[in-house]
Structure 1
Amino acid sequence: MPSTSAAASPSVKSLLIMSVPAVLIGVASAVMLWLLDTVSGWLQDVLWTTMPAWFGATEATPWWIFTVLTLTGLLVGVVVWLVPGHAGPDSATTSLVDAPPPLTTLPSILLAVVIGLAGGVSLGPENPIIAVNAGIAVAAMARFSTAVPPTLVVMLASSATIGALFGTPVAAALVFTGAVAAAKGGGELWDKLFLPVAAAGAGAVTMHLLGGSSISFQMTPIGQADGLMLLEGVLVAAVSAAVGIAAAWALPLAHRLFHALRHPVLISFAGGVVLGVLGIVGGPMTLFKGLDQTAMLITDPGDYTAGQLALFAGVKVVALVVAAAAGFRGGRIFPAVFVGVALGLLAHALLPGIPISLAVACGTLGIVLVATRDGWIAIFVGAALVSDPIVLPMLCLIVLPIWLVVMKAPELIVTKRAVATPAT
């Protein structure tokens, strides 16, 4: 018999009423992400296409790569040091969804993120833009209405932004399923998911209408699956997870090393110098958040040798650790996706018997599982990348043994805030 102490499910009327702010938050969050992408994309084009031509260089010219990344580190350090709000919390210490920062911090966060994205830093926009959208939504809702609790507003803004980032509300629904299922108070799960899905759907549709990027690509499908493919998939995912675990182990060490410099300008400047050297080694393919470069790898996988793919993956994962450790603001998922795709294509190049779509999906699943500690995101991103329906049920099995390894491994996050105090 159902417990009489469980809270009743919300009424249809209340869900419809609450859908209005949910959809508004979804649209606004997508617009903010689109603006961030547009501004940083414009600045990226100036820095890497227009300006190099003035000096007879290109985006692949070694001295230009080194110069831009070094100056990017310097500028981000100045923002962290001098701009009010100091670019918010160190991204190396934050999760995908965290407490929203105060409004006064948001301009400095956006400035640091735009500089980093345009300058070629190997971090994505996800952590900062979720924080910014959540902060704006909480402040706006507090001003115009107190009917929606701040914790729900944060969930709606986060859902909306995740929906916009990945182009579908399903990603947000999966991410918040665990959190919602653990919430107290009873009621049907879909009653609790109703508003986050509404916000995420609005965010995803708005982003599509604005012409935002997609993470879904067409790859040669598996065709007929067999048991051997499962074992091959586990192997690829395990290797990818091992690379992610190595990065997770290295991140706190690198964080302490860079922050021993104490001053935020020196920290990010040193990071920019290292990223500049890595950029010379890996070339333009290993720069930026990695989404466009992921598309290039998946679209023309035959254009790259096994050696090049290994180089891309190795340089990118080191660049991800350095960028996160050196005070740059950004998320770790998109660079991790690039590394996973490169590792998957490398596995296919070395062992051609592995279907390319399964190799890419499993390569992505392993490292994203380490980066997010969320099996749903890892499965969803891996399946979405290759657009092969047979891959999805296989990933649901492959993720199980990989999770048993990852759950005891270090997280790709700095848990102790060894953040330099801004100079006064």
Structure 2
Amino acid sequence: MTTETPPATASPVRRLLPVMLPAVVVGVLTSFVLLGVSLLADRLKDVLWETLPDALGVGRYSVLWMMVVLTVTGAAVGLVVWKVPGHAGPDPATMGLVDPPLPPGVLPGLLLATLLALAGGVSLGPENPITAANIALACWLGTKAAPGSPTALWTALAAAGTIGALFGTPVAAALVFSEVLAGRPGPGGALWDRLLPPLLAGSVGALTMTLLEHPSFDLSLPAFSGPHWADLLAALVIASVAAAVTMAAVFAFPYVHGAFARLRHPVAALVTGGAVLGLLGALGGHLTLFKGLDEVKTLARDPDGWSAGGFALMAVVKLAALLVAASCGFRGGRIFPAVFAGTALGLCAHALVPQAHPTVAVVCAVLGVLLAVTRQGWISLFTAAVLGSDPDVLPLLVLASIPAWLVVTGRPQMQLHDDGTPIR
């Protein structure tokens, strides 16, 4: 297989055809890595949270069991970071969703640490470490199969395939890369020419995952009959307030990370972080554990099932758990727990003001939280839109994104430089 890029003067078709087959192969492989880690994590989760507590006669989500499992998970991940070659990759607080490729030797520790965190109830998702692992694998295997091929090509294909598999659609991958490419001037043809190979990898990754696992982000929220003036006001206020609330966690991020760093050993930091997560789980209830994708559907099935205070408590606890997990060294992504926090905030707004439609409240709150956590406008809009699964909310989401973006733009991000200072 060759992926040598024809001269820049070649026609777009001649430039694109050689990368079509690699895009398909990478799309399939990235979805297999995601699926494999997810299935293994689910099996271990069943053992930790069902088989063992039942055998021991302990409540599955009792305070004692949450404290034990999360503390032991912290110790296990700490040992991986300390002892496994590659130390499970760089400090996750310094990593974004799409970064340069890691050395292949890092991957066993990174994937093992991710699997343990997902199964143990840590409030992080799989997206960042799985994307990093797939980029590293694709770059390593791709440059072996086609010496001289650019690593940027394999990075784009692997990231797009993973994002497509995560969200079950290639649209998310295309939106992410439209943001990435917008800041990269230079040759490469029209924007759609540059997006086409990642879009193909994302499509194959999404189709593979859909055929094998049937993922769904639809929360089955109450049907939305169409926007009214009151819905517009609710959308603008809820998205902005959600972004502002989340920014409190973002501002605290470097300080909490610095506190854990002062423990000076990964096992100490992760054991302490695991114990804190156990306490937070005891405070917020078992729905605030794990990455949050399954748990958020439980909230959405019963928008009136908790009081405004109950929803607010879960949102604050989830944001705090995300802050602690991302600061102390657990490997994982922040999109899925942010979706849970946004959903809880939206349902809190609906409980406080019943006139605010629950679908509008949820998708706008998710939008505000994701803008604060990710600083990626397209992925935030896309994720919020698919949760509602109703095209009538799209105009409201776009308008709500404007004041919410003004709340977060130019301010510290939930990602740090190597010296511990926040990226802006």
TM class by shorter-chain length? over 0.9
Aligned-residue identity in percent: 48
Match of 1:90 in 2: 91
Q: Which residue of 1 aligns with 2:117?
A: 116
Structural mapping, 1:365-376, within 5 Å:
365-376=367-378
Sort the Cα spacing of 1:241 and 1:8 in 2 relative to 1 into closer, same or farther, 3 A.
farther
For 1:226, the equivalent position in structure 2 comes to 228
Residue 272 of structure 1 corresponds to: 274
Partner of 2:151: 150
- 3-state SS of the aligned residue for 2:213? coil
CA distance in structure 1 between the partners assigned to 2:9 and 2:227 by the alignment: 45
The aligned amino acid for 1:256 is: G
Aligned equivalents of 1:222 and 1:145: distance in 2?
Answer: 51
Does the CA contact (< 8 Å) of 1:9 and 1:187 recur in 2?
no
Match of 2:74, SS? helix
Pairing 1:404-419 to 2, within 5 Å after superposition: 404-418=406-420
- Judged with a 3 Å threshold, the aligned counterparts in structure 2 of structure 1 residues 10 and 266 are, in CA distance, closer, same or farther, namely farther
Q: How do residues 92-107 of structure 1 correspond to structure 2 at under 5 angstroms?
A: 92-107=93-108
Hey, what does 2:213 align to over in structure 1? 211
Query: 1:128, 1:331 within 8 Å by CA — same for their partners in 2?
Result: yes
| Paired AA for residue 60 in structure 2 | E
Q: Are 1:130 and 1:161, in contact at CA under 8 Å, matched by a contact in 2?
A: yes
SS of match in other structure, 1:303? coil
Q: CA deviation at 1:186?
A: 5.6
- For 1:46 and 1:305, how far apart are their aligned partners in 2? 32
**Alignment-derived partner of residue 159 in structure 1:** 160
Partners of 2:410 and 2:14 lie apart in 1 by 45
Q: CA deviation at 1:406?
A: 0.8
Q: Residues 110-259 of structure 1: matches in 2 within 5 Å?
A: 110-146=111-147, 148-181=149-182, 182-185=184-187, 187-259=189-261
Measured in 2, the distance between the counterparts of 1:327 and 1:376 equals 28
Instruction: Report if aligned partners of 2:78, 2:267 keep a CA contact under 8 Å in 1.
Output: yes
What's the TM-score, normalizing by structure 1?
0.95
Q: Which amino acid aligns with 1:204?
A: A
Q: Tell me how far apart the structure 2 counterparts of residues 110 and 185 of structure 1 sit (CA, whole Å).
A: 35
* Residues 228-263 of structure 1: per-residue CA shift (max 9 Å, x gap): 322211111111101221111111100000110101
Q: Distance in 1 between matches of 2:88 and 2:106?
A: 6
Confirm or deny: 8 A CA contact 1:220 1:356 kept in the other structure.
Answer: yes
Instruction: Between 212-221 and 358-367, report the one with greater CA deviation.
Output: 212-221
2:70 counterpart residue number: 69
Deviates more, 1:224-233 or 1:261-270: 224-233
Note the 1:398-409 alignment, pairs <5 A: 398-409=400-411
Count of equivalent residues: 414
8 A Cα contact 1:93 1:417, kept in partner = no
Helix, strand or coil for the counterpart of 1:216? coil
Q: CA deviation at 1:212?
A: 4.7
Deviation at 1:417, TM superposition (A): 4.1
Separation of aligned partners in 1, 2:419 and 2:153: 27
Separation of aligned partners in 2, 1:73 and 1:25: 32
* Map 1:288-367 → 2, pairs under 5 A: 288-367=290-369
Instruction: Report the Cα distance in structure 2 between the residues aligned to 1:198 and 1:146, rounded to whole angstroms.
Output: 22
Q: Deviation per CA, 1:158-198, whole angstroms, max 9, x where unpaired?
A: 01101111111001101111222343116221111110100
Q: Equivalents in 2 of 1:319, 1:43: separation in Å?
A: 21
* Residues 241, 402 of structure 1: 8 Å contact kept: yes
Structure 2 alignment gaps of length 5 or more: 1-6
Contact 2:188 2:194 (C-alpha < 8 Å) held by counterparts:
no
Q: CA deviation at 1:381?
A: 0.5
Amino acid at match of 2:63: P
Q: Is the 8 A contact 1:268 1:328 kept in 2?
A: yes
Task: Name the CA shift for 1:299/1:261 in 2 (closer, same or farther; >3 Å).
Answer: same
Structure 1 residues 225, 105: closer, same or farther in 2, change over 3 A?
same
| Worse-matched range after superposition: 78-87 or 141-150 | 141-150
**Matches of 2:29 and 2:185, distance apart in 1:** 27
1:418, CA displacement in angstroms? Answer: 4.5
CA apart distance, 1:227:
2.8
Structure 2 residue identity aligned to 1:300: D
Deviation at 1:8, TM superposition (A): 5.0
Does the CA contact (< 8 Å) of 1:8 and 1:187 recur in 2?
no
Given candidates 380, 391, 394, the residue that maps to 1:392 is 394
Over 3 Å counting, the alpha-carbon distance change for 1:296 and 1:146 in structure 2 is same
Give me the TM-score of the superposition, normalised by structure 2: 0.95
**Structure-2 change in CA distance of 1:94 and 1:263 (3 Å):** same
Specify whether residues 221 and 348 from structure 1 end up closer, same or farther in structure 2 by C-alpha distance, changes over 3 A only.
same
Q: Which moved more, 1:128-137 or 1:181-190?
A: 181-190
2:304 is paired with a residue whose SS is: helix
Partner secondary structure for residue 398 of structure 1: helix
Whether 2:45 is the aligned partner of 1:39: answer no
C-alpha distance 314-14 of structure 1, shift in aligned 2 (>3 A): same
Q: Does 1:260 align with 2:262?
A: yes
Paired amino acid for 1:183: P
CA distance in 1, matches of 2:168, 2:132: 18
